[in-house]
Amino acid sequence: MDNTRDLLSVYRTDYMSGSLFFNGEYVSKVQLVKVVEKLVKEDDAWLHAVVRNSGNDIALDFMYKADKIKREDRNAEFKEMFEKELGGDYLNRWGYSDPADVIKQ
């Protein structure tokens, strides 16, 4: 018998996880760190945020309260959020997982 569903329910959260990838030619790691610092202070929906290099991009890996943004609005909301702070649309790609299954926090 497959107990995968039962096993994962132990780790289920009301957060979404995701990664946003910004064009490294226009956004520096330092810029993105400063923007994320500001956003985290203003919005308590952020649980986790990590800025890292990813090839030619600068990536943000995150966990965010899933009920704060409707699933169908996520791309537009995150794009607008970062476009406002960075002064342009530098978001290259993204990926989300909802709900996030957290093993260790």
Q: Check residue 2 and give its pLDDT.
A: 57
Distances (CA, A) of 18 to 4, 51, 61, 87, 97: 22, 12, 6, 22, 6
- Looking at the structure of the chain, the number of domains it has is 1
Q: Is residue 22 in a domain?
A: yes
Whole-number Å distance between alpha carbons of 33 and 15: 21
Task: Say whether 61 sits in a helix, a strand or coil.
Answer: strand
Structure confidence at residue 71 as a pLDDT band (50, 70, 90): confident
Q: Is residue 84 in a domain?
A: yes
- pTM attached to this predicted model: 0.86
Q: Looking at the DSSP assignment, which residues form a beta bridge with residue 64?
A: 16, 46
Q: Is residue 77 in a domain?
A: yes
pLDDT of residue 27 exceeding 80: yes
pLDDT of residue 51 exceeding 90: yes
Q: Is residue 82 in a domain?
A: yes
Q: Check residue 4 and give its pLDDT.
A: 62
Domain that holds residue 37: 12-93
